[in-house]
């Protein structure tokens, strides 16, 4: 298991990691608040709001790992494409 979603394309069976697109969107919204005059010291820390799940079924099959159906349903990315 990896924590960088791109690693599933490099052969990791499962990844659970930050959704960098969503993190960027949230950072942009916070930046807009500061530009509009909000004091940055008054903005509380916020953890990433969404994790991205990815699975590589070819690698799982190769190692004899069965991915539960409910995990596959929640996955954001399933390789090979169209296997979800």
**Going by C-beta distance under 8 Å and a sequence separation of 6 or more, which residues neighbour residue 3?**
15, 16, 17
pTM of the model: 0.65
The model's confidence at residue 3, banded by pLDDT at 50, 70 and 90, is: low
Q: What is the DSSP letter of 43?
A: S
User: Quick one: CA dihedral 2, 28, 47, 72, positive or negative?
Assistant: negative
The full set of domain ranges for the chain reads 5-79
Distance, CA of 5 to CA of 31 (rounded, Å): 25
The model's confidence at residue 5, banded by pLDDT at 50, 70 and 90, is: low
Q: State pLDDT tens for residues 13-59.
A: 998 887 788 888 989 999 999 999 999 999 988 877 778 899 999 99
What pLDDT is recorded for position 82? 60
What pLDDT is recorded for position 83? 62
E-assigned strand segments in 1-84:
14-18, 51-56, 77-79
Range 58-63 average pLDDT:
94
């Amino acid at each position: 298991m990896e924590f960088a979603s791109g690693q599933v394309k490099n052969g990791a069976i499962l990844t659970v990691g930050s959704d960098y697109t969503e993190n960027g969107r949230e950072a942009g919204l916070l930046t807009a608040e500061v530009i509009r005059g909000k004091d940055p010291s008054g903005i509380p820390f916020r953890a990433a709001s969404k994790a991205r799940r990815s699975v590589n079924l070819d690698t799982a099959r190769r190692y004899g790992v069965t991915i539960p159906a409910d995990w596959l349903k929640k996955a954001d990315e399933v390789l090979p494409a169209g296997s979800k």
